[in-house]
Amino acid sequence: MNESDTDYEFYVGTATHLEGASLAIDGTARIDGKIVGKVAVKHLIVGPGGVVQGDISGETAKVEGTVEDSLTLTGKLTVCSSGRIRGKIQYGSIETMEGAKLVGEISTDWGASTETNFVSDRLESFTSSVGVEQEQTADD
């Protein structure tokens, strides 16, 4: 562990494999090894060789390695060029670098009521215009 590693409340080294964990970390966690389980953390950093599998929740995350299953964040998700995320992904804001891979159900906290109204209004407008065109064609 180098000097910068002491800035983390929780650290998993490259030679570490932790399975069946249920962790609650009030601070920053850096994962360079592998964790399989449930992780609740304020700030998550998954290093280039790091793997986190399970239900992950928190404020922010920077992913250089691999995250699988579910990732729920209230703040910013940063996915670096070597980052890979697969599963259900929810975030407040997102930054992805060229080469990043995200696969699965991806959503933000945009606001369900606004999105539903937007889709509903557009669908209603489209349906109305199609109905008018069909009536005009039938009358001709």
Least confident span in 27-36, 76-85, 105-114: 105-114
pLDDT at residue 34 tops 80: yes
pLDDT at 118: 46
Which DSSP state fits 4?
G
CA torsion 77-11-56-103 (nearest 10°) is: 60
Least confident span in 17-21, 81-85, 131-135: 131-135
Q: If you average pLDDT over residues 109-119, what whole number do you get?
A: 51
Give 21's pLDDT tier (boundaries 50, 70, 90): confident
Q: By C-alpha distance, which of 96, 42, 100 is closest to 74? A: 42
pTM over 0.85: no
- The average confidence (pLDDT) of the chain is 84
Give 103's pLDDT tier (boundaries 50, 70, 90): very high
Token digits for 99?
């080469």
pLDDT at residue 119 tops 70: no
pLDDT at 109: 77
**Domain spans of the chain, in order of start:** 3-109, 111-140
Distances from the Cα of 96 to the Cα of 78, 90, 110, angstroms: 6, 14, 18
Q: Which amino acid is at 63?
A: V
**Residue 119 belongs to what H/E stretch?**
helix 112-139
Could you read off the pLDDT of 40-78 as tens digits, one per residue? 999 999 999 999 999 999 999 999 999 999 999 999 999
Dihedral sign from CA coordinates of 126, 131, 132, 133: positive
Q: If you average pLDDT over residues 95-116, what whole number do you get?
A: 80
pLDDT at 12: 95
